[in-house]
Amino acid sequence: MELKRVVVTGLGALTPIGNNVEAYWNALIAGKSGSAPITYFDAEKFKTKFACELKNFDALDFFDRKEARKLDRFAQYAIVASDEAIKDSGIELNGIDKHRVGVIWGAGIGGLETFQDEVINFATGDGTPRFNPFFIPKMIADIAPGNISIRHGFMGPNYTTVSACASAANAMFDALNYIRLGYGDIIVSGGSEAAVTKAGMGGFNAMHALSTRNESPETASRPFDATRDGFVLGEGAGALILEEYEHAKARGAKIYAEFVGGGLSSDAYHMTAPHPDGIGVIAVMKNCLQNAKMVPEDVDAINTHGTSTPLGDVAELKAISQVFGAHAKNININSTKSMTGHLLGAAGAIEAISSILSITHGIVPPTINHENPDSNIDPALNLTLNKAQKRDVNVVMSNTFGFGGHNACVLFKKFDE
């Protein structure tokens, strides 16, 4: 069968460097770091005392007090970002078939803060099981798309993908395929996460996954730098309105880019470490190119997973060199996690938005905080270091990889009728 074309018609972002798409993009281009000392709780006894928290976010600006109390922060973030994307798309909600509008969302963890707080309350009480009646519906990862659909009456496919840090990209690829196959006209897709909590910081510290650069939080996320020592935990959400092309055309929608393909693979190697030879990463990028019916030479830019971990950064760049060969040196490679930190299950969404806006504006955001070249990284690669670079971007790839060996890759191109 002939697959339908899928385009991006709306964007929404809630990030550590900007609480809407415009602010997020401007901060990316300026090379702004979102990392700072933790304010949500006293982190004095933690190995890592900083994170990429949202700034100046107040749930009561978006929800009444009663509604806000029923929502974990990860669900609040999902609703805020999706509301922005829906508004941006110009969709007339009363003029569409809501049975053909779905929500496919990504979250690596879900309501971690809700779970943490309820368990603490029980453990420090008298043993009587007094739990909040909203404990379970606040915690479960699928409640974010559930609430988005309830809010707008969307009655199409509705679920959450959970593949750790690949969750949002996984969700977007699923959404792409639903629309391609004719099962829906519009899918709200993306991801959200709110893991900057005592349990989140403590758990990742116990794994030795986080940077401990407490003396300089703003420079702690330093992908590809020889002195990198782990990622910086971030939070927030990204939302995309994915729409069947003819449906978008019929309503005169503005189109940011065409969503042309995606890929999935597994390392099948280790719970947390990447395969040293990058075999899963090589496979997912090849799968993505094949799915999009493109060749390596078509790609102009790659937003890497680039978390700032000693093993992961090198493995990914070696995989890029193997997949793209001599063309790799012509690609603008970057890691926006150097600014936003790592949003876990939401990473793929905000990084897809950055990738799409690179096409729109002809600018590739920088990889900031790079000071010391790593001898294990090919110096011929253009890692877009420290300053944004202007260039014509027609095709951009975005990579996300998760604990458990989950790999997801998505590909966008400049829209051409």
**Residue 204, SS3?**
helix
Centre a 10 Å sphere on the Cβ of residue 250 and count the other Cβ atoms it contains: 10
Identify the residue whose tokens are 């280790």: 270
Q: Are 82 and 141 in contact (CB under 8 A)?
A: no
What are the Cα distances from residue 96, in Å, to 150, 181, 189, 245?
Answer: 16, 19, 18, 15
Q: What is the DSSP letter of 14?
A: E
User: What single letter denotes the amino acid at residue 398?
Assistant: S
Torsion of CA 404, 157, 237, 13, to 10 degrees: 140
* C-beta separation of 309 from 277 below 8 A: no
Question: Is 288 annotated as catalytic?
Answer: no
CA distance 169 to 174: 9
Give the integer Cα–Cα distance in Å for 166 and 403: 9
Catalytic residue selected from 52, 165, 288, 409: 165
Contacts of 175 (CB under 8 A, 6+ apart): 102, 104, 187, 189, 242
Q: What are phi and psi of 355, to 5 degrees?
A: -65, -45
Residues 323, 417: contact at Cβ < 8 Å?
no
Question: Could you list the active site residues?
Answer: 165
